[in-house]
Structure formats: C-alpha cells, structure tokens
Amino acid sequence: MVTKAANIQEVKCPVTGMLQLIGGKWKPIILYCLRSETRRFGEISARIPILSRKVLTEQLKELERDGLVIREQFNEIPPRVEYTLTELGKSLTPVLNEMEKWGMENIIAKR
C-alpha cells in the first residue's frame, strides 16, 4: 500500500504537499479545533455539529495516519478516546491562526 506520506515526498511544490495532508472540507477545521488543547471525540463533534460522526471518524483516522493527530484510548467504563495534535500538527498552529485572522477580517467583519 502506498501511503499518503510516500506520495508527499514525491511532491515538488510545498503548497501541494501541505494540501495533500490537510486539504479537504473538514481537516483544517478539525485541526483548528484541536490547536489549543486535547479534546474528546464528542467535544470535537459538538464543535462541528454539521459534520457527521462517520466523516469525523474517517478524517481523524487520516490525520492520525499522516502523523498530525495522536489518538489515545483509555480503558475505562464508559470508554474514553482523546485526540491531541502531534508536534507536526502543532506546527500548523500559526497557519491556522492566520486563517482565523483572515476570516475574521475578511468574512466575519464584512457581514
């Protein structure tokens, strides 16, 4: 199986490589949600209510596979799963903060 990480190493454009990792409708929003703290699955789901639980699960699995998110499962009753950004994921925080700033200035403020 060829992983996404292997494909990214072949990319010559840095923006293309980044978008292969975090591109799509939901991954940047999930990363934005996790940028400041560890969150449980239900917390992420509640913060992005229009995202189905199935799609959230798929996106989190991809983010984990690509080394941006750590999934930690606790053997408790009821079961608890937490998601945290890896160091690679945390390195996106300045980018996500700039996206937030741009959105506030150019979309939210103009309503």
- Calculate mean pLDDT across residues 45-62: 97
Q: Give 11's pLDDT tier (boundaries 50, 70, 90).
A: confident
pTM attached to this predicted model? 0.86
**Which is higher by pLDDT, 30 or 1?**
30
pLDDT tens-digit map of 74-103 = 999 988 999 999 999 999 999 999 999 999
pLDDT of residue 8: 64
**Which is higher by pLDDT, 10 or 82?**
82
How many whole angstroms separate alpha carbon 79 and alpha carbon 49? 22
Q: Which domains does the chain have, with CATH numbers?
A: 26-108 (1.10.10.10)
Q: Which residues of 60-91 are buried (b: 16+ CB within 10 A; e: fewer)?
A: bebbeebebbbeeeeeeeeeeebbebeeebee
